[in-house]
Structure 1
Amino acid sequence: MDLLKIPGVVYCEFKNNGYIIRQGEKVDSIYYLVSGTCYRTSITEKGDEIIYGVKESNKSLVHSLLGVLVLYCDGISSNHFIARSKCCCYKIPKEIFLQYVQDKPDLLTELLYLAMWELRELAGSFQARQEGKVANRLCKLLLIKAQTIQGKRLINKGYSNSEISRFLGIHKVTVARILRVLKDEGIIDKQKEGIIILDEDRLDNYAQAEKMMDY
């Protein structure tokens, strides 16, 4: 990729749980994620951690960039970007990136799509809490995170009740209650590998708010 060959762009690595960008920090450089997993999080005034998204290396330049949308607001990051595994990155000074994209309308359009997707996700999360549809949101999260492994639809054990609660901004007790209902209805099961989806159609009914849950 020609961007990574521009003088001033440097390779760097971050250990698991290392801060790549800190909340409240002025962003002078963004990062291109070559490998690893990064969480975009925020700490509330009460000290609660909310996970807004997961970044992983991607064939798309825009979707592999950390902190890029901060360049198009006040330049201060409202989130932490934290390595959740060893992360290999390229550090790109903001002046170099802004110069690089100014004559690339396709990249700028992709950035706009990314911004609107993140806005829609945030609005959906807020609306779910306002309308009492947190359970539906949790079911949607399970479907998004599920992978097919040895014929099973599995959400890996890394998605504990505490982890899910941080993704949704709700208490882990609430998560436990919702998962209990899903298990009692035969929709999921919890095993040592993680959460197993037994009935994806019924889980999708909850995710699409076609069915409401009393928990």
Structure 2
Amino acid sequence: MHGSWYQKAVGDYRELLRQGTRIHVGKGTRVVDSQKKLEYVYYLEKGVIALVDLMEDGDERVFRYHKQGELLGIFQLYNMVPSLKNSVQHTVCHIYDSVSKSECVLYRLEPRVVLEFLFENPEILVEQVRSTAKINMSHCFRYSKMLKNRTPNILCEMLLEFAHLSEGAWKLDKYFSNAEIARYLGVHVVTVGKIIGKLKEDGLIDRKNGQLVILDREGIEEYLGEKNMKY
């Protein structure tokens, strides 16, 4: 089972998905390569795919994770159409690669088909442009909170953003270990371990069969503001 956001996305894109090909990819697949011409747009049905960039020291930095129900390659698609490129030129400053971090199920779609669908459904196109702006704003807010030493708040936001409803519980994919969360947030794994430990101690989350499980969403949501955590 998935959350309502995912179900809405499936409903919006059902007509489009019928024109695509459902495929499976393994962990470590570079689904969208920013250095190559866009051949396909992809719809993420299941799994974890990250927007990544290669740092100067050769390390790979995760910019964000795609949500299930999102289109991949949409930024490159915008650049193919002048009117769309102009509408998002102030919100997209860099194009990242999309790399699978687990086994994934995707729909492979022809760019032409996606463009036709978006122009035939302007309400979805508008939502896509808004989503692009929100992604970049979220990155700015995350960086701002990091400067203010608000790591617990950012971690709680991440838990809520990437948890999906499965068997009656909100769970994160097994990929999200303490080490991967630390890598994403740009902090030490010990810091993440202490925060996760505090959340478990307070009865807000648990880890079952290798997955983080949210036990109290309202308790986690209290940290979306400026609430402090002593850990």
TM-score above 0.5, yes or no: yes
2:105 is the alignment partner of 1:87:
yes
Aligned to 1:130: 147
Aligned to 1:29: 39
Change (3 A) 1:105 1:88: closer
Shift of 1:204: 2.2
SS in 2 for 1:29: coil
Aligned to 2:62: 50
SS in 1 for 2:187: coil
2:57 is the alignment partner of 1:39:
no
TM-score scaled by structure 1? 0.73
Shift of 1:157: 3.7
- Write the distance in 1 (CA, Å) between the matches of 2:220 and 2:46: 30
Deviation digits for residues 32-75 of structure 1 (CA, Å, limit 9, x no counterpart): 3264335132233231431512242x3xxxx3x21112233599
Question: Which stretch shows the higher mean deviation, 186-195 or 111-120?
Answer: 186-195
Shift of 1:27: 3.5
Shift of 1:175: 0.9
Q: How many residue pairs get matched?
A: 203
Aligned to 1:212: 228
- Write the distance in 2 (CA, Å) between the matches of 1:149 and 1:72: 34
Change (3 A) 1:191 1:101: closer
Q: What is the aligned-residue identity percentage?
A: 23
Aligned to 2:138: 121
Aligned to 1:67: 73
The structure with more radius of gyration:
1
Question: Which stretch shows the higher mean deviation, 133-142 or 105-114?
Answer: 105-114
- Write the distance in 2 (CA, Å) between the matches of 1:135 and 1:123: 17
2:128 is the alignment partner of 1:111:
yes
TM-score scaled by structure 2? 0.69
Amino acid at match of 2:36: K
Counterpart among 185, 209, 221 of residue 168 in structure 1: 185
2:16 is the alignment partner of 1:15:
no
Contact preservation (8 Å) 2:156, 2:220? yes
- Write the distance in 2 (CA, Å) between the matches of 1:190 and 1:127: 29
Change (3 A) 1:41 1:166: farther
Deviation digits for residues 101-138 of structure 1 (CA, Å, limit 9, x no counterpart): 44643233122121122122212211111221111010
Change (3 A) 1:39 1:169: farther
Amino acid at match of 2:40: I
Aligned to 1:158: 175
Change (3 A) 1:115 1:179: same
SS in 1 for 2:35: coil
For structure 2, the residue ranges without an aligned partner over 5 or more in a row are: 1-14, 86-92
Contact preservation (8 Å) 1:67, 1:77? no
Please state which structure has a larger fraction of its residues in helix.
Answer: 2
Amino acid at match of 2:30: Y
